[in-house]
Chains A and B, each alone.
Chain A
Amino acid sequence: QVQLVESGGGVVQPGRSLRLSCAASGFTFNSYDMHWVRQAPGKGLEWVAVIFYDGTNKYYVDSVKGRFTISRDNSKNMLYLQMNSLRAEDTAVYYCAKPRSGGYPEFDYWGQGTLVTVSS
Chain B
Amino acid sequence: EIVLTQSPATLSLSPGERATLSCRASQSISSYLVWYQQKPGQAPRLLIYDSSNRATGIPARFSGSGSGTDFTLTITSLEREDFAVYYCQQRSNWPLTFGGGTKVEIK
Bound Cα distance A41, B67 (Å): 32
> Could you tell me the distance in whole angstroms from the C-beta of B107 to the nearest C-beta in chain A?
22
Bound Cα distance A112, B43 (Å): 6
> Could you tell me the distance in whole angstroms from the C-beta of B6 to the nearest C-beta in chain A?
9
Q: Within 8 Å CB of A110, what residues of B?
A: 43-44
Q: How many residues of B contact A (CB 8 A)?
A: 22
Task: Tell me if A55 counts as interface (CB < 8 A to partner B).
Answer: no
Spot the interface stretch: A22-30, A56-64, A70-78: A56-64
Residue on A nearest B91 in the bound complex, by CB: A105
Q: How many residues of A contact B (CB 8 A)?
A: 21
Spot the interface stretch: A10-18, A43-51, A83-91: A43-51
Q: Within 8 Å CB of A59, what residues of B?
A: 94-95
Asked whether B43 lies within 8 Å of A111 as measured between CB atoms, the reply is yes
Given the interface pairs A44-B87, A45-B87, A45-B89, the reply to whether A106 lies near B43 with Cβ below 8 Å is no
Q: Within 8 Å CB of B87, what residues of A?
A: 44-45
Task: Tell me if B97 counts as interface (CB < 8 A to partner A).
Answer: yes
Given the interface pairs A45-B87, A106-B34, A108-B56, the reply to whether A113 lies near B43 with Cβ below 8 Å is yes
Bound Cα distance A111, B101 (Å): 20
Give 17 CB contacts A-B under 8 Å: A44-B98, A44-B100, A44-B101, A45-B101, A47-B95, A50-B94, A59-B95, A61-B95, A62-B1, A62-B95, A100-B55, A104-B91, A105-B91, A106-B34, A106-B50, A106-B89, A113-B43
The 4 closest A-B pairs by CB, nearest first: A110-B43, A106-B49, A47-B96, A45-B98
